[in-house]
Amino acid sequence: MNKPNIFNLETRELSQEAFIGWLLTWGAPEALTSNAELYKLSRTLLEGFFKKHNRKLPSKIKKYEISMGYRYIDILLKINGSIIIPIQNKIYNIERPDELSRYLKLLKEDGYDGRNILPIYLQTGAQGNYKRLLETGYLPFSRKELLNILNAGKDINNDILNDYIAYLEQIENGMQSFMHLSLNRWHMHSWQGFYSYLLIELHDGQWDVVCNSTDWRDCFLGFWWCWNNYNDCAQYLQLEKDELCFKIKVYDNKKLAYLKCKWSDSFIKASEGSPIKVVKPVLQKDNAITVAVVDGDYRRADKDGKIDLNKTLDVIIEAQKIFDKAVALNP
């Protein structure tokens, strides 16, 4: 029997919020005499938050206050009465950027100096894009960053801490499973990990759940990039799990049939002479916007049936070249 873990029983954000609040509480000056190891670990996490904002943790902390749920902010840390760290705690859910901006506005209305507000967006699950988040002033603090800090405290004899580290490691292992599972055994976390890997490698893109109807069974995890706006429609590339699609978004439905035919022919023609084959989709409904696909699974496997990342990236980059060529031929 595996050791029972409270964080596997309560997987909602409130349990993570309670843990982070608990650990940060150990950073108070008076906590040093109670447990020096937890105090040191808490201060290391604090230093990580400050470093995110290119700031240094004050050498002397005389006043240390933590509030939970103040002004709708999950965790609010106040240091020496003037430095404010609002922390929004997320696992897989996504906070709306306008809500994040509102939280900071409320803090400024309370009289806090915006220059001393250091917002942190703690995300231990996964998120497909942080562009709009960064525009609010919040900075993402990832699961890997948190694990790197907590792992320094693995030898601390504390069940709460060790259970949470084990819980995060389970998530991390799931996200990295695309590296070692055979292609036909990938699960949701495998795809999330793979798409997150592509965000870094391609320096472009976004991923999220895509639903084409009200039936959740029609939903899938998609990754899209190479967005190009055209007079009548936009063109972009999208991964729909094992399918690499050339897609369009039509602004005038009266031109839908014409544009589908035009761009389907353009992408297929642009692929002539390419090492990958681009074909029309097998199933194409009247309102479909997938106009062409890479023939077969774009992922390339090694001899063990696991992903060959270099060869897979070669296919994706070749698809980008075909896309760019087709767009250039249709100014």
Q: CA–CA separation, 256 vs 250, rounded Å?
A: 6
What's the CA dihedral at 53, 59, 65, 69 to 10 degrees? 10
Taking Cα atoms as reference points, which of 190, 149, 124 lies closest to residue 24? 149
Q: In what order do the strands lie in the sheet with 83-90?
A: 64-68, 75-79, 83-90, 120-123, 139-142
**In contact, 57 and 45? CB cutoff 8 Å:** no
Q: Which sequence spans correspond to the domains of the chain?
A: 6-174, 180-328
Residues listed for the chain: 331
Round the average pLDDT of the chain to a whole number and report it. Answer: 91
Report the pLDDT averaged over residues 185-210.
93
CA distances for 283 relative to 80, 220, 289, 297, angstroms? 63, 17, 11, 16
Q: Residues near 144 by Cβ (< 8 Å), separated by ≥ 6?
A: 172
pLDDT one-digit tens code per residue, 85-101: 999 998 777 778 889 99
pTM: 0.87
Alpha carbon 78 to chain centroid, angstroms: 28
Per residue in 232-279, pLDDT tens? 899 999 999 999 999 999 988 888 889 999 999 999 999 999 999 999
